[in-house]
Amino acid sequence: MGMIIRGFKNAFRNGIRSFAVIIILAISIGMALVMLVAMKAVEAKITSVKASVGNVVTISPAGAQGFEGGGTPLTGTQLKDVSSITHVSKVTETLEDRVSTTGSSTGSGFGGGTSGTTSLSSAINPGTLGQRFNGGSSSNQTLPTNFSLPIEIMGTNDLSTTQALGNVSQFKITSGQAFDATSNNNEALIGSGLATKNNLSVGGTFTAYDTTIKVDGIFDTGTEFSNGMVVMPLASVQRLSAQSDQISSATVQVDSVDQVTAVATAIKNKLGSAADVTSSIDAANNSLAPLENVKNISMYSLIGALVAGAVIIFLIMVMIVRERRQEIGVLKAIGASNAMVVGQFMSESMILALLGSIIGALIGFALANPILKMLVNNASSSASTAVRGAGGGGFARAFRGATSGFQNSLQSLHGAVGTSLILYAVLAAVAIAILGSAIPAFIISKIRPAEVMRAE
Amino acid sequence: MIITKGLSKEFTSGDHKVKAVNNISFEMPEGIFAAILGKSGSGKSTLLSLLGALDKPTAGSIEVDGIKINELSDRKLIKYRRDKIGFVFQNYSLIHNLNALENVCLPMEFAGVGAAERKERAEKLLEEVGLTEDKFHRRPARLSGGEQQRVAIARALANKPKLILADEPTGNLDSKTGQVIIDLLHELAKTEKTTILAVTHDIGIARQAKVIFKLQDGTLVE
């Protein structure tokens, strides 16, 4: 205890020097804390974005994007190889088709679908966009009287993966129940919009591909487009649309976000030029690159600030030890052990570092978020914010939806500045005091009392 | 009390070696005031360092109060200094930012003595060396040379040492004050039953000692 009290008293022997050291340490520790807060905030954001984007790889036929582009459909045989790739936990296969309302002017095969027809009428109002998709270029062009947009039918072997449905916020069966997606039955789930438009309820039937299809359930996705769809077992759609073993897109679930890139590469290697393979992580990584830079800058700055603090303490303690060489010799002569003398000097450096850390914590509190904002703004303004979706039509919409708010959310990035900051400040002070005192402590241990007496 | 046999200490100075202490053998009984007399550079302080275990001899042996100190480990040497030896330096060597009482308490703190006991003994010792109570809480800068040396002597007595080694205890004092200090050392040798070995170049002071050892060029001549 006496050693600590003496260390405390000694810390203020030279008031001006101690004040200067405390201020410099405060700046160093303050900057370290600011960088720590920034790094943790950015890390949390990166993790959150990656988690929200998901650990999914999407496969679609090369050159195709939904019902646009060209290319040759993939096959189930091709996708069997994908399931065997390490870290692949699930492969969901989908086949999308479009069917025309029987008797409508659109005719079968409209909009990229097969020759199928249905008794269902589309729940979606054509509007201006519908006119444009019908080949019209101006809003003045009128539609034929019996025009009806085609109805999308999606076949899937897994109802839990709904990315192909598009930019949906949910896939909720509001009445009835799901079918067995691995079956080959003539059954379907229909969107709530479609059900309402066609007065269908659970247990009801409609026709498609000249076949009676039973409604097992009605779903709601939160979007008008997807609520106008029909979802059926994959094998059923393949059979009814005469597209045996064909797949228009596949969604691969990876067991870990960290493995997504590796799995995507493995899939590309397996499927070669037959498929376009995209992962949400690749696109997310582009958007996250500025944040990764901020994280790295923060980390190096944090280390630099702590090292600077340790160097400051080291230089000051070496100076103090040299100044008090004789005093150290006297202390040893009157019975102090090396440990006692080193302990006294370490108390002195610890007091200086702790006082610096208190002021540094206040600096951290005040500057953490302003500096974080400045770092993020500088980083994100210089990075490309273009995001391109690829693959199946649903994926592009989903990803653009997920990341369209990303750039805006950066502006609201906020560092957690709370009582934990004080704990970090204290830990920083302890680390700096120990590191900075190590060599001076060694010097102290080598001072021989007799040398000091001779020097007198 | 003190027995030395063939005690030598060599230092390397540039290319050549210097024998500061050369083959010194003597015996000194306990409870007396003894002096080591010699000119500057005669090896007095080196001999004192060796007897106080502040340094290790190059050759020979030292036995103090039955302890062969040249055979002790570094850790045991610290304990030996703490328990058996008290030092009085020429320039007092008090700790500047501690007051008189705190300076005297220091060796006791290193020896693990409790705070209350330390304070009580420190006050008693300061009274014994003649420092008035109003000066107990003064720092060395506010004490005269003589007062500082009194505090240094009190500090040297803190752990009830068997041997006090005083290196030119009056070197920085005027003759009157110096005599006061020497008288104090004589008195304490009797009352505290402590052996006092003072190094001096002043023959007048040396003559007041019961035993005089004369050093010349590191060798004992008398």
pLDDT in tens, B192-214: 778 899 988 888 888 888 888 88
Q: What amino acid is encoded at A391 in this protein?
A: G
Out of A141-155, A348-362, A399-413, B59-73, pick the least confident: A399-413
Listed by start position, the domains of chain A span 2-52+286-455, 88-254
- Give the side-chain half-sphere CA count within 13 A for B181: 31
pTM score > 0.80 for this model?
no
pLDDT at A66: 65
Burial of A408 (0-12, 13-18, 19+ CB in 10 A): exposed
Q: How far is CA A368 from CA A292, A316, A427, in A?
A: 18, 28, 18
Strand partners for B215: B220
Q: Could you give the CA distance from residue B70 to residue B49 in angstroms, rounded to a whole number?
A: 12
pLDDT exceeds cutoff 70 at A240: yes
- Chain-chain contact of A13 with B52 (C-beta, under 8 angstroms): no
Torsion of CA B184, B190, B194, B199, to 10 degrees: 50
Q: Which of the pair, B5 or A282, is modelled with greater confidence? A: B5
With tokens 């029909």, the residue in question is A230
- Rounded to the nearest integer, the mean pLDDT of chain B is 87
Looking at B30-149, which runs of residues are DSSP E strands? Answer: 33-37, 59-64, 67-68, 85-88
**The two three-digit tokens of residue A366, written as one number:** 């005040």
Q: Which of A84, A41, A49, A396 is nearest to A257 (CA)?
A: A49
Q: How far is CA A405 from CA A166, A401, A411, B30, in A?
A: 17, 8, 10, 91
With tokens 């500088």, the residue in question is A378
- Chain-chain contact of A330 with B93 (C-beta, under 8 angstroms): yes
pLDDT at A165: 58
The pLDDT tens digits for A136-154 are 555 555 666 667 788 999 9
Best to test chain B binding among A5, A344, A453 (most B CBs inside 10 Å): A453
Best to test chain A binding among B11, B70, B87, B103 (most A CBs inside 10 Å): B87
Q: What angle do CA A109, A97, A117 make, to 5 degrees?
A: 50
The pLDDT tens digits for B140-158 are 999 998 899 999 999 999 9
Give the distance from residue A5's alpha carbon to the nearest chain B alpha carbon, in angstroms: 11
Nearest to A335 among B49, B98, B107 (CB): B107
Listed by start position, the domains of chain B span 30-56+72-220
Residues of B in contact with A454 (CB under 8 A): 45-46, 49
Strand pairing of A246-247 and A74-75? antiparallel
- Chain-chain contact of A334 with B81 (C-beta, under 8 angstroms): yes
Torsion of CA A170, A97, A112, A279, to 10 degrees: 50
pLDDT at A80: 86
For the segment(s) B30-56+72-220, the CATH number from 3.40.50.300, 2.40.50.140, 3.90.25.10, 3.40.190.10 is 3.40.50.300
pLDDT exceeds cutoff 80 at A410: no
Q: Which of B176, B155, B172, B173 is nearest to B164 (CA)?
A: B155
**The two three-digit tokens of residue A401, written as one number:** 């939806």
| Average pLDDT value for residue range A157-174 | 71
| Average pLDDT value for residue range A161-186 | 78
Q: What is the ipTM of this complex?
A: 0.90
pLDDT at B167: 87
Q: Between residues 334 and 363 of chain A, which touch chain B (CB distance below 8 Å)?
A: 334-337, 340
Looking at chain B, which runs of residues are DSSP E strands? Answer: 2-13, 16-28, 33-37, 59-64, 67-68, 85-88, 163-167, 195-200, 211-216, 219-220
Interface contacts A/B by beta carbons within 8 Å: 71
| Average pLDDT value for residue range A397-418 | 56
* SS3 category, B59: strand
Nearest to B97 among A13, A330, A450 (CB): A13
pLDDT at A448: 80
